Structure 1
Amino acid sequence: MAQKQAAIFNDLSGFGRCSISVILPILSAMGHQGVAIPTAVLSMHTEFPNYHMTDLSDQLPAYLESYRKEGLRFDALCTGFLSNPTQAQIARSCLQLLKEDALVLIDPVLGDGGRPYPTITKEIIAQMRSLASEAGVLLPNLTELCLLCGRPYPDAFPSRDFLLSCCEELCAAGTSNVVVSGLELDGRCCSFIYADGKADEVWNEKVGDGRPGSGDVFAAVIAGSLLRHETLHQSVERAARFVETAMRQTLQEQIPHAWGLCFEGLLSELMPAAR
């Protein structure tokens, strides 16, 4: 099977294990070539108070044009945090660089814990909603699901009917499949899958608290698995299991919260020979 190439439209943080710096090594371990399209370069992610950031929005059109001139076409597009509405619009232009039947995996990074992140505006949410309509796989957490659908954040574990209604609304607008991650109940985590009009669930043990970059790890493993032609259910299972294992390793090594998931020593578990 020919090696797959995945374009990664996300920021690049030098320290803290998130975004491109997490996604690239995971895709490589899974046998794919990751192609970075950095939306911004940060010294460290924004949970650190002293981070420095250079926004690359004005550079992205020329960056993408160089790919077009080379005739490059990718097997997948993976998007993550977008710092402004312009980047969401530019992300849509990346679709022109994809092969027919390519995977479009969108992680709509908008918020958590029932609230949008401080930098997220109504305009960014609207642009992300438009971008989500292009997704082959959309990966919101519960907060992001509610923001995309304009629903109030539930006070308790969401009902199956609530999740189905939200997923059906997104798919009616163009999204193909939805995976709602990070649903917690009684010490366990649930990933709710809505694919081909049917609902499914993947459960695993909750270990520790969410960390910066854990969603990027989850998304990267799903993308890498789908590019190996695994089913969406298999891909989510693999991703959830890998994040759980990485969290155990992280806690064992007493890694500070802001430093993210200690996943590097576990990459061999994702290699094709380990399947």
Structure 2
Amino acid sequence: MAVLAVHDLSCYSKSSLTVVLPVLEALSVETAVLPTALLSTQTDGFDDIYVKDNLESMKAILCRFEKLGISFDGIYTGYIGSADEIELIRSFVKDVGAPLLVDPVMGDGGELYQTVGKDVVASMIKLVRKGDIITPNWTEAEIITELGYGKGKASQRMILDEIKVLRSLGPAKGVITGIPLEAGGLGNAAWDGDEVRLFQYEDEGVSYPGSGDLFASLLFGLVMKGDSFFSAALNATNTATYAVHMTKKNGRERRLGIMLKPVMDEIRRRML
């Protein structure tokens, strides 16, 4: 089994490919990478960020993949820095025909990330329509659906409304992550067709860059290994929340991102 991870590479701090690659490999999922951008750091908590668009390199790499006859059993996309890059990926996944997980990385905490423009949002929504599975956080779900729920606490009705609109775009399966629940705590709301399940967990009072990448990587890896969707979503939720807890317990500076080393053994213990 071989999959392609289409994500950015932050040279400092844990997020995107520095999370995705080790997690998928820990799950024994052979992973190739297609870097969408090169960043000096991840974008949450740092200023004066160097960002290099990777469009031309992406075109050249995909061309070489085709010439070499390289194929993939699944594709997993995350942060894609430009509308042109997203259009390239849309064309690629259409030709490949492999299962596609889209993590529509655009924002958090009710705000767009500083590097995400309106053109990227519009193109990302088109990519979401191609996804077999999507994993937006609560902010990204709202960006896509435009239901107007904003930064407030979410009721059951609000969650079901968001899922209804997201399903109408095409993805048969998905998880909205990091939902601030009206009843207290946080939740991940997963759907598979008409069935919806809510996995609740404690709010640690802090979020770490890369935690969404960790969740989606776990989910994707487990699904590719043959786990049922809801089982994969539950295990990914439990392990990602454990990672957040351990990162906080170790006193790690938030902007450095999720701490992977203390939880790799836990990932293996839970998943293999």
TM-score, L = length of structure 1: 0.91
Name the residue aligned to 1:83. 81
Matches of 1:68 and 1:152 in 2, distance apart? 43
Alignment partner of 2:234 out of 234, 237, 245: 237
Q: What code does the residue aligned with 1:60 have?
A: M
SS of equivalent to 1:8: strand
Question: Identical aligned pairs, as a percentage?
Answer: 26
Give the C-alpha shift of residue 30 in structure 1: 0.3
Q: Report matched runs for 1:124-143 at 5 Å.
A: 124-143=120-139
Matches of 1:184 and 1:147 in 2, distance apart? 16
- Between the two proteins, the alignment pairs up a number of residues equal to 270
1:136-181: CA deviations, max 9, x gaps?
Answer: 1111112111111122134532233332233222322222212110
SS of equivalent to 1:261: coil
Q: What code does the residue aligned with 1:18 have?
A: S
The answer (yes or no) to whether the contact 1:31–1:272 under 8 Å persists in 2 is no
Alignment partner of 1:16 out of 7, 13, 17: 13
The answer (yes or no) to whether the contact 2:111–2:139 under 8 Å persists in 1 is yes
Segments of 5+ residues of structure 2 without an aligned counterpart are none
Name the residue aligned to 1:250. 247
Name the residue aligned to 1:42. 39
SS of equivalent to 2:189: strand
The alignment status of 1:116 with 2:88, answered yes or no, reads no
Q: What code does the residue aligned with 1:183 have?
A: I
The answer (yes or no) to whether the contact 2:152–2:180 under 8 Å persists in 1 is no
Give the C-alpha shift of residue 21 in structure 1: 0.9
Q: Report matched runs for 1:1-275 at 5 Å.
A: 4-46=1-43, 47-96=45-94, 98=96, 102-154=98-150, 156-185=152-181, 188-271=185-268, 275=272
SS of equivalent to 2:214: helix
SS of equivalent to 1:224: helix
Greater displacement, 211-220 / 234-243: 234-243
Greater displacement, 57-66 / 117-126: 117-126
**What's the RMSD between the two structures over aligned residues?**
1.9
TM-score, L = length of structure 2: 0.92
Segments of 5+ residues of structure 1 without an aligned counterpart are none
1:6-36: CA deviations, max 9, x gaps?
Answer: 1111101121100011100000000111111
Cα pair distance change 1:264/1:144, threshold 3 Å: same
Q: What code does the residue aligned with 1:148 have?
A: I
Structure 1 segments, 4+ long, off by >6 Å, are none
